[in-house]
Structure 1
Amino acid sequence: MNSTKKHAVWQLIKPFWVSEEKGRAWGMLIAIVALSLGLVYISVLINQWNQVFYDALQNKNYPVFKQQLWRFTYLALSFIVLAVFKVYLTQGLQMRWRSWMTEKFMDKWLAHQAYYHSEQQQLVDNPDQRIAEDLNVLTRNTLSLSLGLLSSLVTLFSFVSILWHVSGPLSFALHGHAFTLPGYMVWFALLYALLGSLIIGWVGKPLVRLGFDQEHYEANFRFGLIRIRENHDAIALYQGEKQEAQQLGERFAAIRNNWWSIMRVTRRLNIASNFYGQFAIIFPLLVAAPRYFSGAIQMGGLMQIASAFGQVQGALSWFIDAFNDLATWKACVNRLAGFNAAVEQAHHQSRGIALEADAAQPLALHRLSLQLPDGQTLVQDVSLTLQRGERVLIAGPSGGGKSTLLRAIAGIWPYGAGSIRRDASLSALFLPQRSYMPIGTLREALSYPRPADVYHDEQLLAVLENCRLQHLQRWLDTTNNWSQRLSPGEQQRLAFARALLARPDILFLDEATSALDDETEQLMYERLVATLPDVTLISVAHRNSVAKYHQTCWRLSRQPEGSAQIMPDSLPKAG
């Protein structure tokens, strides 16, 4: 792992351990380490018990045999208690870590509209999966792998001296020369684990990339299924089932093909690791058998050697045993590092359009130009001022940049040049063409983005009636997916109800009445103007019928080079 990747890993892992949670986190970690050391100590005692117990069996020493059975009972019970509490504390620490990281990642993703900009520029795929699943894998596997490595190191140092002592020297002749290898079982364990680790690492290396791709394909397939659920009405009207099935089939084919690749690598990995694990059971007995049959050691010594060899070999085989988890962890780290980099890029991207605070007027555009992310110019060199209480209609051809202009005023569209000045003391509300409906009670959907308890029932019921939604009054405290339950027209009327409740100083309507019939559209504007007579209003609309509710028209006219100019015109007052 190069220094850049190490830095990325450290940047993901470090923050929690130096955060406000560090006291409890380090306390739990120290307790887990202490329990791990206790488990290793009991394993050492059980290894010593092996020699005494099996020697008692060989010598038919019943009193010692019975004594050792009782000793094994309390050793086993102690091991069970420590193991249970270790798992319990580890799970608790993992959830605390995951909760903290999830909160920080969500805050970072939502801050400065990073979720919006990263999606606009396609900086990262499936951010929902990276927050929901990858953070879980990162915290769980980081703890399990690091604690497993620590336990293996402590086990190794605890049992190497035992294995060195009980295995004794091995004498042999080679080319007429006599050699003695002290603690020969230790060297056999090292050699066995080294060869196994090299083979397993070589065989399983492709799993890192394959695991990364599998997560990507799974998320794409799941996203396709969600899209069908969210757009079931339109798909049914288009009779697009065949096309949707084809797209889902292609996405699932990617999952299936990548899974077959994973299966092939896993098959080779399992052959190698299972052979390694099974042969490790008999290997120490084969190597120690000559000394046993020569009478140099008894049955208890042979069993102690086999047990100690297993502990040393198991500790040295940490990489082999943890390889699958390491591959998953590495793929997860890569995905989270990519997500983190994308969000950072969205936070620090340069803004061509300057947003400035100016209390002189509600809104002023100074030499404003709007561009698409690819650099294409939509609107060129616009300077306009909006007075308090003025109502402006933005009109022009489709695709000319009307909605983009509103997004730039909202501060979420950075592509372009010039400046936008707004009075920061004035409250603003934007009603897009497709209104957002949070899943929850109708009260919460109506109050959004404010808390549900801000308004009294009388206010909510009255505004529903004013917006021709009185049939929804009985569902005020009913939880539902309102974007699916309500028609587009009902959703747009509910958005107007929000505006009447919020009473903003500046209101932006981006084709917010496109799903309404002409009569209802005019009714919504009449209620809006009557209820909020002093509101500063900017509307994007295609119907001329709403022009009478505005005083000024900003008309976009396309120029020969492709960009548009904005020309202000006065509108006749409503009769």
Structure 2
Amino acid sequence: MNNIRSTLASVWRIAKPYFNSEDKWPGRILLATLIAMELVSVGLDVLINQWRNRFYTALQDKDWDTFKREMLVFCMLAAAAVVLGIYQLYLNQWLQIRWRNWMTSKYLREWVHGANHYRMQLVGDAADNPDQRITDDIKLFVGQTLAIGIGLLNAVVSLASFVVILWGLSTILPLVLFGVDISIPGYLVWGAIIYAVLGTALTQWIGSPLVNLNFDQQRLEADFRFNLVRVRENAEQIALLKGESAERERLSERFGRVIGNWYGIMSRTKRLTAFTGTYAQAAVVFPFALAGPAYFVSKTVQLGALIQIAEAFGKVQDALSFFISAYRTMAEWRAVVARLDGFEGSIAAAEKLADDPASIHAKPASGGEIALPQLLVKLPNGAPLVSANRISFRPGERALVTGPSGAGKSTLFRAIAGIWPYGNGAIEIPANATLMMLPQRPYLPIGSLHDAVVYPGEAAQFDAKRVRDVLTAVGLPQFSTRLDEEAHWNRMLSLGEQQRLGIARALLHVPQFLFLDEATASLDEPSEAALYRLIDEELPKTTVVSIGHRSTLDAFHQRSIALVRDGDHFALREAARVTAS
């Protein structure tokens, strides 16, 4: 029961924002229309139930006039049911796509916002495979929430409607046991209730493990798909290392987990289906077993009333057995709800981490420089990594940061960029300053080369001539005529070519502060020197801070800052000044 309450609370928390959003009125109107149509649908079921009594009684009495009239009534009821069903489906799908569109936009906005997607990875794996959460899980949540919600409404209204009918029929139809008429008020209703309660209890007992099994299945499927994508993305390196056998083994191992969990679902589903199938088949004859003696023995009821009783009993029993018939869907739905709830929780945790005043935070600088007055960068486990005391990067200067591998140089850059929250202290950044970080492997989005070079800017911000000139300047004249070509550029280009594109991106955007994290390490020294001279010429007012290990970089920087061991961590220290070329 606590699990059900928790699931319903999560559903309300996930669903409520849509119906209070900017799209709330279309959503509310569509939902209200669907509810009204479902009520009309139940009303039609009641009318058809009453029609069956009249129709089968006419057949029994061989009443031709009544038979013709009831055939006409059925045609009208059937036509109304068909039209209603068509528009119920259409409006349901319309609400689904609007709701899914809003949820997808919301999750994308919260996930890919202010480096939150990166911090979520640091927080942990509570939101593993966000691609699946935003695609499959949202789709399933919207569709199954509507299906279960509308189905539950139908069950409640049908129960209220047909219980009245069944109770009324129970009063005119005595229970016959061993040839004796026994008067039990509403015995047909009580029979349906007892039958459904026993079935529900047994279904819960047999099927409860399906919730966790479905949750694990979605997680394992997503993990397997993610690793398939990784193999595709790193095909060249795997081929060079001849790692196909190792990758097959790893993928087979992950798929083996998928198969193992699926066998668990199969086994549990087999037991559940065996019970629910038996339950459903027995429900067909159960009302005849109760009412049949009154038809055959005491002859107190006509065929039409017997058929009406069977259908009304079936409707009551179906309503009471809603939990049984929808159990497998609800098990999958609860797993989807848990995954989306975990995703939202991970988003909130990452945002809280960024807003924590005790973590690293940025504040406006009093001057035009980036200052680290008293900063301590830590690892996620709380261990100190890098400290900086009264270090600053002044406008237009060139600074080289050196230190051993693993000392925390890249993590320091992440902290300055505002995406690494672990630690304490402030980073003072001039108001409205533009920063650009170029890693060793720059990100190039799939699409046209023009879009890849100007990223994250819009293509319209930079005319094609300017982009071609910059590509030629960084040593890629062969690509200047391919700006409209679409490709997966991270896979097509060598790492050296990608790094040249990264420098081209910096020249286009002209940031006030440019941080190069071994951004030219894959180039030979003459090519690297040519790019640094190009930066000096094209970006004379830009502050350039580089991470590098080559001694030849000294000639292009005015300052040298080293990370040196200081107890249990590394500290930034000013090194001897060098003369810029």
TM range (shorter): over 0.9
Residue pair 1:170, 1:183 contacting (<8 A) in 2 also: no
- Number of the residue aligned with 2:145: 142
Letter in 2 for 1:91: Q
- Number of the residue aligned with 1:48: 50
- Number of the residue aligned with 2:26: 24
- Number of the residue aligned with 2:562: 555
Structure 1 residues 119, 358: closer, same or farther in 2, change over 3 A? Answer: same
**Alpha-carbon distance, 1:6 to partner:** 4.5
Letter in 2 for 1:390: E
Letter in 2 for 1:284: P
d(CA) in 1 for partners of 2:438, 2:337: 39
Structure 1 residues 6, 285: closer, same or farther in 2, change over 3 A? Answer: closer
Residue pair 1:555, 1:569 contacting (<8 A) in 2 also: no
Structure 1 residues 86, 45: closer, same or farther in 2, change over 3 A? Answer: same
d(CA) in 2 for partners of 1:280, 1:178: 23
Residue pair 1:492, 1:515 contacting (<8 A) in 2 also: yes
Matched, 1:328 2:332: yes
d(CA) in 1 for partners of 2:33, 2:405: 65
Residue pair 1:508, 1:538 contacting (<8 A) in 2 also: yes
Q: TM-score, normalised by structure 2?
A: 0.95
Equivalent residues in 2 for 1:225-304 (5 A)? 225-293=228-296, 294-304=298-308
Residue pair 1:369, 1:377 contacting (<8 A) in 2 also: yes
d(CA) in 2 for partners of 1:171, 1:545: 101
d(CA) in 1 for partners of 2:101, 2:567: 55
**Alpha-carbon distance, 1:166 to partner:** 2.3
Letter in 2 for 1:498: R
- Number of the residue aligned with 1:442: 449
Structure 1 residues 319, 5: closer, same or farther in 2, change over 3 A? Answer: closer
Query: Which of the numbers 151, 157, 160 marks the counterpart of 1:157?
Result: 160
d(CA) in 2 for partners of 1:316, 1:4: 22
d(CA) in 2 for partners of 1:14, 1:215: 25
Query: Which of the numbers 338, 354, 357 marks the counterpart of 2:342?
Result: 338
Matched, 1:399 2:421: no
Residue pair 2:173, 2:300 contacting (<8 A) in 1 also: no
Matched, 1:506 2:513: yes
Structure 1 residues 272, 65: closer, same or farther in 2, change over 3 A? Answer: same
Residue pair 1:186, 1:309 contacting (<8 A) in 2 also: yes
- Number of the residue aligned with 1:35: 37
d(CA) in 2 for partners of 1:415, 1:312: 59
The DSSP-based 3-state class of the residue aligned with 2:96 is: helix
**Alpha-carbon distance, 1:61 to partner:** 2.0
**Alpha-carbon distance, 1:562 to partner:** 4.6
**Alpha-carbon distance, 1:517 to partner:** 1.6
d(CA) in 2 for partners of 1:41, 1:272: 31
d(CA) in 1 for partners of 2:547, 2:343: 35
Residue pair 1:483, 1:491 contacting (<8 A) in 2 also: yes
- Number of the residue aligned with 1:223: 226
Structure 1 residues 334, 274: closer, same or farther in 2, change over 3 A? Answer: same
Equivalent residues in 2 for 1:29-178 (5 A)? 29-124=31-126, 125-167=128-170, 168-171=172-175
d(CA) in 2 for partners of 1:4, 1:28: 27
**Alpha-carbon distance, 1:11 to partner:** 1.4
Moved more, 60-69 or 245-254: 60-69
Residue pair 1:557, 1:567 contacting (<8 A) in 2 also: no
Unaligned 5+ residue runs, structure 2?
none
- Number of the residue aligned with 1:204: 207
Provide the identity percentage. Answer: 42
**Alpha-carbon distance, 1:105 to partner:** 1.4
The DSSP-based 3-state class of the residue aligned with 2:574 is: strand
The DSSP-based 3-state class of the residue aligned with 1:429 is: strand
Equivalent residues in 2 for 1:294-373 (5 A)? 294-349=298-353, 350=356, 351-373=358-380
Structure 1 residues 297, 310: closer, same or farther in 2, change over 3 A? Answer: same
d(CA) in 2 for partners of 1:213, 1:429: 40
The DSSP-based 3-state class of the residue aligned with 2:480 is: helix
d(CA) in 2 for partners of 1:309, 1:338: 42
d(CA) in 1 for partners of 2:518, 2:155: 64
d(CA) in 1 for partners of 2:68, 2:386: 92
Residue pair 1:558, 1:565 contacting (<8 A) in 2 also: no
Q: Can you list the C-alpha shifts for 1:320-352, whole angstroms capped at 9, x where unaligned?
A: 111111111111111111111111111112343
Residue pair 2:444, 2:452 contacting (<8 A) in 1 also: yes
Query: Which of the numbers 216, 228, 232 marks the counterpart of 1:213?
Result: 216
d(CA) in 2 for partners of 1:55, 1:573: 105
Letter in 2 for 1:57: L
Matched, 1:546 2:548: no
Letter in 2 for 1:86: Q
Q: RMSD across aligned C-alpha pairs, in angstroms?
A: 1.8
Letter in 1 for 2:314: G
**Alpha-carbon distance, 1:560 to partner:** 5.3
Structure 1 residues 513, 477: closer, same or farther in 2, change over 3 A? Answer: same
Letter in 2 for 1:53: F
The DSSP-based 3-state class of the residue aligned with 1:17 is: helix
**Alpha-carbon distance, 1:230 to partner:** 0.6
**Alpha-carbon distance, 1:172 to partner:** 6.3
d(CA) in 1 for partners of 2:6, 2:47: 44
Residue pair 1:169, 1:184 contacting (<8 A) in 2 also: no
**Alpha-carbon distance, 1:110 to partner:** 2.1
**Alpha-carbon distance, 1:67 to partner:** 2.2
d(CA) in 2 for partners of 1:363, 1:95: 47
**Alpha-carbon distance, 1:231 to partner:** 0.5
Residue pair 1:436, 1:483 contacting (<8 A) in 2 also: yes
